[in-house]
A and B are shown apart, each in its own frame.
Chain A
Amino acid sequence: MTSYLDASLPTRSEHLWRYTPWSRVHPTKVDELPAVGELVIESDDVEIKAISKKGIEHGQDIARIFLDNVIGNTHVLTPENKINHVHVKAGGHAVAAHIHIESKQPSSVVFHLTGEAEWVGLWLTGSIHPNSQLSVGLINELSSESVLVRTDNWRIERDGEFELATLSLGGQRIKSDIRTILSGSNSTHNQFIAVHGHGTRHDDHHIEIHHKQPHTNSKLTVNAACDDRSHSVGTGALTIDDDAQHTDAGQIFRNLLLSESARAEAIPELEVMANEVAAAHGAASAPIDAMQMHYLMSRGLSKEEATSMLVEGFLVDSFVEVRSDSVREAMQTRLTVHLECQLIG
């Protein structure tokens, strides 16, 4: 295991840390390795085994090295039911956990992340075995003061299907680094992210999707609605290896800016080394369509209600292609409740 204290710290010139420097999401000072407690992980639907953490591949990424140093156990889930709800509760000063999913048969897992902890570290890993299908949803409803560092590493084997939906609503400062490798031929990955920026929320999602084998497919949709003085960052790195012929991959980043002080960054990167591929990405940023507002307000809705409805439509749209009904419904329900509280009060 690489010692965090010996690791070199990233500079802002590094793409990954350009908009959210590591020093801003470290729980204390960057040259310290503080004591970190454990997140509480509970579920009525699936057995969670806590085992002593084995070495996890972290590359040279500082966030993963840090988490590897402060986390003691791995919580292993082997879902067998169609739908499994897992509650991840964050209390105290700084807490973290490593959760690993072994997917051997079609199943869905929805994580509900809540709590008041000042700093939360969450490392999700998973293996989608050949011919298996896994759908994962993560709903972040941390308190408005929390800092979240999330790192994901997913691997999809031959003929495996994996979809990952993220609803990011809570926390003050969020840095998510989600990496997926399509390591088996004919594997598929769909990822959906909805971000609601409010207050001074800073939400940074970095998504890497790596196609290593032929006949692999991926799709990424990121919708961010930014209000008040919030700041959303979306960076995508889509890599198609030279062996990954007949790949079909796409990424789309959409930003809806709701206030003058809101900011958004979109950086959808594409590296293609195979020629028999269809690869595309897009990014768009715009204010709320005045015509749509006019239409809704002319039918008696207040400005706040009309805005809420349009924001909800924009963010709900992120999840319309989620194939797992239970994951999609969980996401959409929490989003609706959140927006009613936030925008209408």
Chain B
Amino acid sequence: MTQDAQEAVGDYRYGFHDPESSTIRFDKGLSEQVVRDISELKNEPEWMTEIRVKAYNHFVEREMPTWGNCDSLEGINFENITYFLRSSDKTEKDWDDVPEDIKRTFDRLGIPDAEQKWLGGVTAQYESEAVYHSIREDLEEQGVIFLDMDTGLKEYPELVKKYFGTVIPHSDNKFSALNTAVWSGGSFIYVPKGIHVEMPVQAYFRINAKNMGQFERTLIIADEGSSLHYVEGCTAPTYSTDSLHSAVVELIAMEGAKIRYSTVQNWSANVYNLVTKRGVAHKNATVEWVDGNIGSKLTMKYPSVLLKGEGAHAEIISVAYAGTGQHQDAGAKVHHLAPNTTSNILSKSISKGGGRSSYRGMLQVTPKANGCRSKVVCDALMLDEESRSDTYPTMEIGNSTADLEHEASVSKVSGDQLFYLMSRGHSEEEAMGLIVNGFFEPFTRELPMEYAVELNRLLELEMEGSIG
């Protein structure tokens, strides 16, 4: 690593990167031709090319979103981004076949360790396409489809065509249009009727090339009475120029199905993380988002659930950690569209070193949605005088039988708690770390064990130097 790069990386734990080894890399900037070229290179069906082009035209015409910290989006230069880069010629089936330098990156991320018997499978997205994919045989036998999105489109075009863009159409917002135009990679999962995937399935995403946009597209369908827990983790090398991550994740939970989507994101401090995530819950179905945001320059992410069928349920748990120069603009949206639907939202955030964390939420009850219940709780912890914490909740109630609650509080670390821990021999820094870990505990207990451990380690790392 050069000295400049080292300076840029600083003490960021996962701030390493391997020399780029891409075999196909497009010029910077976006045009209709680039969109068509991406589609042609992937040998996609005509209908997908047309969707991409339509989305591109919408992207060009669409204004920046007005929901969120929109002023900060001015820093994105769409002409300075590479929209497609292929790092390996073909999707590998066996870990031994993965190129050495790529494997080394994953080694440092702990992927081989993560792929243990209690995990369902691994799709590791390296730059734009999956380079490694495996799935446990028992899942295959059950008829569960777990592929990277590109392969999913090739092997199950009818299934993809039926559901692609039905939850998040390209016209949803500027960044969903951009993603639809240039998407590459991501996961495609279909769980057949009545199948319960007992182990969490997992995918890692990384940005490796400088100014490399990452536009993965994930589509998960849980058919009637099935269940799935999907886990996504992100770490990225640090660079001195800005990167853009703009993913789209669509979840469809059919009648009686349950999907839990867990994320721990640790983007480096120069990444714009602008993600559109939305799930649809049909009758008696459950969609759960468990969302952890650490790192990035600006995160704008509001996992949403459309409660479309009677008795559907949404659960959203999110934590955000905003360090120096970072703005975590995260939140949740739940739309109660059917009777007797319920939702719970728990948001926790920490601001430190001048960082800013915001909760931005939407809770909507439509006139036909009788008997809905919802509870929103936001807690914010401020660790120093320079930091900032905001809460922007919106409640739109169109039905008189709805029972909704929202509560939020902002506070600092309690002196009593610090004193208690320090009187038992902990340094102030250790005590602060323990309190912060405890503050996030309602979130970490919902994660698979290794993620919880990794998150705690990351928090400890972030807390270093927070005292004095």
Contact = CB atoms under 8 A, between A and B. Distances in A.
Interface string B372-394: 00000000101111111111111
A40 interface: no
Interface stretch (B3-11, B40-48, B246-254, B396-404): B396-404
A269 interface: yes
Given A260-B399, A273-B388, A284 B404 contact: yes
A257 B400 contact: yes
Given A13-B66, A280-B408, A271 B397 contact: no
A270 interface: yes
Interface string A217-243: 000000000100000000000000010
A200 to B, nearest CB: 15
Given A257-B400, A262-B400, A265-B396, A271 B408 contact: no
Nearest to A14: B66
B111 interface: no
Nearest to B352: A275
Contact of B383 (A226, A275, A278, A284): A275
Contact of A284 (B387, B394, B406): B406
Nearest to A280: B409
A273 B397 CA distance: 30
A286 B390 contact: no
Interface string B396-430: 11111111111111111000000000000000000
B233 interface: no
B389 to A, nearest CB: 5
Nearest to B376: A283
A51 B391 CA distance: 42
A88 interface: no
Taking chain A's interface residues, is the majority helix, strand, or loop, or is none over half, making it mixed? Answer: strand
Given A263-B397, A265-B396, A287-B403, A281 B383 contact: no
A272 interface: yes
A266 interface: yes
A268 interface: yes
A174 interface: no
Contact of B410 (A13, A259, A272, A283): A272
B367 interface: yes
Contact of B408 (A226, A263, A282): A282
B395 interface: yes
A287 B402 CA distance: 7
B410 A257 contact: no
A289 to B, nearest CB: 10
B402 A272 contact: no
A272 B399 contact: no
Given A279-B410, A280-B407, A266 B395 contact: yes
Contact of B407 (A259, A260, A273, A281): A281
Given A267-B392, A269-B391, A275-B383, A284 B398 contact: no
A255 B397 contact: yes
Contacts of B394: 265-267
A45 interface: no
Contact of B390 (A226, A262, A271): A271
A329 interface: no
B382 A285 contact: no
Nearest to A273: B388
Interface in B449-468: none
B395 A274 contact: no
Interface in A58-82: none
Contacts of B383: 275
Given A282-B408, A286-B403, A271 B393 contact: no
A128 to B, nearest CB: 26
Interface string A159-197: 000000000000000000000000000000000000000
B71 to A, nearest CB: 13
A275 B387 contact: yes
A277 interface: yes
B410 A270 contact: yes
Contacts of B400: 226, 257-260, 262, 287
Nearest to A226: B400
A325 interface: no
B352 to A, nearest CB: 10
B349 to A, nearest CB: 11
A264 interface: yes
B393 A242 contact: no
Contacts of A269: 390-393
Contact of A285 (B384, B403, B411): B403
A286 B409 contact: no
Nearest to A257: B400
Contact of B395 (A242, A259, A260, A267): A267
Interface in B321-366: none
A269 B410 CA distance: 12
A284 B399 contact: no
B382 A272 contact: yes
Contacts of B380: 272
Contacts of B396: 263, 265
B6 to A, nearest CB: 33
Given A242-B386, A260-B367, A282 B406 contact: yes
A337 B383 CA distance: 51
Given A263-B397, A267-B392, A267-B395, A275 B385 contact: yes
Interface in A1-45: 13
B390 A270 contact: yes
A169 B122 CA distance: 61
Contact of B397 (A242, A276, A279, A285): A285
A226 B400 CA distance: 9
Nearest to B365: A285
Nearest to B371: A287
10 contacts: A255-B397, A260-B399, A266-B393, A271-B390, A272-B388, A273-B387, A274-B382, A276-B385, A282-B407, A285-B395
Interface of A: 13, 226, 242, 245, 255, 257-287
Given A280-B409, A285-B395, 16 more contacts: A13-B66, A257-B399, A258-B400, A265-B394, A265-B397, A266-B395, A267-B392, A268-B393, A270-B391, A271-B388, A272-B380, A273-B387, A279-B409, A279-B411, A281-B406, A283-B405
Q: Which 10 A-B pairs have the closest CB atoms?
A: A257-B400, A275-B382, A13-B66, A270-B391, A283-B406, A280-B409, A279-B410, A282-B407, A266-B395, A285-B404
